[in-house]
Amino acid sequence: MIDPADLAHLKEIPFFQRMSDSELRKVSALARARSLEADEFFYLQGDPAEMLFLLKAGRVKLIQNSADGQQILLRMIGPWSLFAVVALVEGAVYPVSAQAVEPSLALYWTKNALMELVREIPGLALNAMQMMSERVQEYQDRLRELATERVERRLARALLRLGSQAGKRVPEGILIDLPLSRQDLAEMTGTTLFTVSRILSQWEAQNIILTGREKVIIRFPHGLVRIAEDLP
């Protein structure tokens, strides 16, 4: 069950928006918890979609294996992010794998609990449809980028997305507040570790970014925007 102090966080999540406190308490009463160590999986791509998850602590990456065996990092998520909304679809399977990047704690609802909630709170189904539509569009955009855009543009877009999702203002610029390795960025952009390292070194020399061990700081966001949008 969710701690009453956490109800304020639920109200900020699109899936639970426009719900009353009594409805949110009903949602929280059906929640269960699961904790994982780093590198363990909440679920694997192709598994039956039986649970909806809400990350409470830690970091999780969503990865997909393509038909040719390539692993693509689609999204990195932090605390109070919802994932596996597809569990609301009857007979669905998880289209991605969800792997803990660090020790993580997630709340989850089983499919039976979700169906009970949808029957009692019809607005949940509408919220879920909106979220799934947005996720499908996001994944389609990512696959289009991988198929059609230069590596520099893909990498710039990935860093801007991560800055938007997990950016934290620090004196040097915008810190992507995630344990992010160059291999992660290579998987996210469908390229090699060598290529990512070469491009990041060039951008660091141009004072666009600052890198460290599993750390990236965006020093000049407009420079990345110019690269991402292929502007002069």
| Residue 229 pLDDT > 60 | yes
Helix (H/G/I), strand (E/B), else coil: 162: helix
Q: Where in the chain is the domain with CATH 2.60.120.10?
A: 4-147
Tokens of 199: 């491009």
> What's the pLDDT at 4?
66
pLDDT computed for residue 214 by the predictor: 81
Rounded Cα–Cα distance for residues 35 and 3 (Å)? 16
- Of 10-24, 43-57, 76-90, 138-152, the least confident: 138-152
Residue 74 has pLDDT above 60, yes or no: yes
Q: What is the pLDDT of residue 181?
A: 86
**Multiple choice CATH, 150-228, 1.25.40.10, 3.40.50.150, 3.40.1380.10, 1.10.10.10:** 1.10.10.10
Task: Check pLDDT > 70 for residue 82.
Answer: yes
What mean pLDDT comes out for the span 130-140?
A: 74
At 51, the amino acid letter reads M
Q: Could you tell me where in the chain the CATH 1.10.10.10 domains are found?
A: 150-228
Q: Model confidence at 38, in pLDDT bands (50, 70, 90)?
A: very high
pLDDT category of residue 97 using cuts at 50, 70 and 90: very high
Domain 4-147 belongs to what architecture? Answer: Sandwich (2.60)
Give CA separation, 209 vs 192, 214, 222, in Å.
Answer: 19, 13, 11
| Contact criterion met (CB below 8 Å) for 152 and 223 | no
**Cα 190 to Cα 144: distance, rounded to the nearest angstrom:** 11
CA neighbours within 13 Å on the CB side: how many for 4?
A: 2
Q: Could you say which DSSP state residue 178 is in?
A: S
